[in-house]
Amino acid sequence: MKRDLAALAEREFDVVIIGGGVYGLSAAWDAALRGLRAALLEKDDFAHACTAGSFKLVHGGLRYLQHLDFHRMRVSIRERRNLLEMAPHLVQPLRFVLPCYGHGMKGPEVMQAALAATDLVGWDRNRGQPDPHQFIPRGRTLGADETRAALPGLTRSGLTGGAEFYDAQMYSGERLALAFARAAAREGAVLANYAPVIGFRRAGHRLRAARARDALSGREFEVRGRVFLNMTGPWTEITRALLRGAPHDGRVLRSKGVQLLTRKLADVGFAVETRQKDLSALISRGGRNLFAQPWRGLTFIGQTDKLFHDDPDRFGITEEDIAGFLEQFNEACPDAGLRRADVRFWVGGLIPVGNDDPNPEVSKVAHKFEILDHRRNDGIENAVSVQGVKYTICRYLAERAVDLAARKLGRRSVCLTAHRRLPGGDLDDVAGYVKDALRTPLNGNAAMTENLMRQHGTDWTCFVRYARENPAWGAPLGGTADVPAGAIIHAARAEMAQHLDDAVMRRTDLGTRGDPGAAALEHAADLMAEELGWTPDRRAAELARTRALFTPQPAASREAGC
């Protein structure tokens, strides 16, 4: 996967996709598999914004029962099954236990009915899955003792039982998005990061080209296309204004979702009830839930839903955000006793809101995606804007968007992505593959080898080649146990990493569990500097840029990022 701006400028594409999050990358793969000439332009790095700030959960929509939205449940269950099959190294089942207190709407009796309904709606949830370890079991209710055993720190007063169900979890949401990017490039799509779209060339009611700028050199260029897909997430309205050639002040209305990564709280996922109500639920069991899930030896807790009305480039997570979230979680789960020192890292993003007159403190998060045909709304024949709300349905939303693009092109095509494996995912027995590989771990380091396999699947063997080229590249980065130096080299050589944080936060998991320490960052900077020919000043600037990610932003910050 190489960054080739000349290839973008030299020919006309059938589909030009603006936005390199997981939705845009999924669409690029889908379009290329159908034989369409596809190009993708991303203003920053692939998966840098809301994709990286996701909750790592691939969910089957149990919560949608409260909205009586069975169609959305069916779509979520199917797409969860697809991701478990497409990327078994990156997506695995995860057990949840929901405590029940008293009886009635909050009791185990109602949850038993909900689990039965979910199993009925998802009757085919494991169909075609070759690996039994990837199966989603049936839900069941638990007694009070079994619930306490699963959640030993649970508030005991009034506990009458629990509900056990399974969803799925991403080992790395960033690597999953990169798998879509690699799959798209493998099928002939031309992708570029750090290539913001600054305008469009238009003839009559049709767009002819996107005008882009190379953020690394400042050079401007055009990408000609027949259909344009706007998949820019929080920047959707801003890009839509560019499509129309209209001014925009850069401010958008969104829900600010923040997740915290803390010390480990439990071996299973669980939920705690807050005093805040779910404003869109048709069937309410009480307050809105916060979910906690074990992830990589820590616990992910999500998420907030505070209103954001500003430029998405000004998104940032502040100490106030962290303190407010901790207060909310501790009020709902006092036995956890979380303190600021327990917070290892924080991620987040901007989510569409579904109400026209939102509360100034709490937003009503949108639950449904939107596909907007600009022919009807803006008189532009060949432009489509797509806005999603959940990582889980990225493949499905891409399918719907590319279906519409193909119709605009007058092309009859069939989506091929549903049962196609992503790079590294050609595995029918992940556990067996890992077990076999650990008999001869890279550099004798079992933890590092398993981490590489979980992130790269069958493609992890490229790191053996890096170690042969330079034995030092097979050893862990300074101060780490499971990230080899070769992973930084691979990020720069084969995965379009242009900045240090691209490699630290999105190509590897060096920084996704919190600050890896000065030794690791210095070592990574040395490797990137040598590979990309950075000057000492550039190396220092890259280190400063990356270190800033591990400090919450000031409340009035105007730093870019999502």
Residue type, 398: A
* pLDDT at 280 (0 to 100): 54
C-beta of residue 19 within 8 angstroms of C-beta of residue 512:
no
Helices 430-437 and 446-456 cross at an angle (nearest 10°) of: 140
More confident residue, 205 or 106: 205
* pLDDT, tens digit, 9 for 90 and up, residues 242-262: 999 998 999 999 999 999 999
Domains and their CATH numbers in the chain: 93-166+253-351 (3.30.9.10), 430-550 (1.10.8.870)
* pLDDT, tens digit, 9 for 90 and up, residues 443-494: 999 999 999 999 999 999 999 999 999 999 999 999 899 999 999 999 999 9
The 3 state secondary structure assigned to 70-98 is HHHHHHHHHHHHHHHHHCCCCEEEEEEEE
Residue type, 392: T
C-beta of residue 28 within 8 angstroms of C-beta of residue 38:
yes
Spatial distance between the Cα atoms of 530 and 500, rounded to a whole number of angstroms: 12
For residue 544, give the 3-state DSSP assignment. Answer: helix
Spatial distance between the Cα atoms of 17 and 23, rounded to a whole number of angstroms: 10
Average pLDDT over residues 331-352: 94
Spatial distance between the Cα atoms of 200 and 197, rounded to a whole number of angstroms: 8
* pLDDT at 275 (0 to 100): 73
Q: Is 102 a residue whose pLDDT tops 90?
A: no
Average pLDDT over residues 317-343: 94
Say which residues have a Cβ less than 8 Å from residue 491's Cβ, sequence separation at least 6: 497, 502, 503, 507, 508
C-beta of residue 260 within 8 angstroms of C-beta of residue 343:
yes
* pLDDT at 48 (0 to 100): 95
Residue burial 92-127, b: 16+ Cβ < 10 Å; e: rest = bbbbbbbbbbeeeebbbebbbebbeebbebbeebbe
* pLDDT at 57 (0 to 100): 96
Q: Is 366 a residue whose pLDDT tops 90?
A: no
* pLDDT, tens digit, 9 for 90 and up, residues 81-92: 999 999 999 999
For residue 262, give the 3-state DSSP assignment. Answer: strand
Report cis status (omega within 30 of 0) of the bond before 112.
no
- CA angle centred on 423, ends 417 and 428, rounded to 5°: 85
pLDDT band of residue 361 (cuts 50, 70, 90) is very low
Helix ranges, 421-484 (H): 430-437, 446-456, 462-469
Report which secondary-structure segment, H or E, holds 293: strand 287-295
pLDDT band of residue 363 (cuts 50, 70, 90) is very low
Spatial distance between the Cα atoms of 383 and 229, rounded to a whole number of angstroms: 6
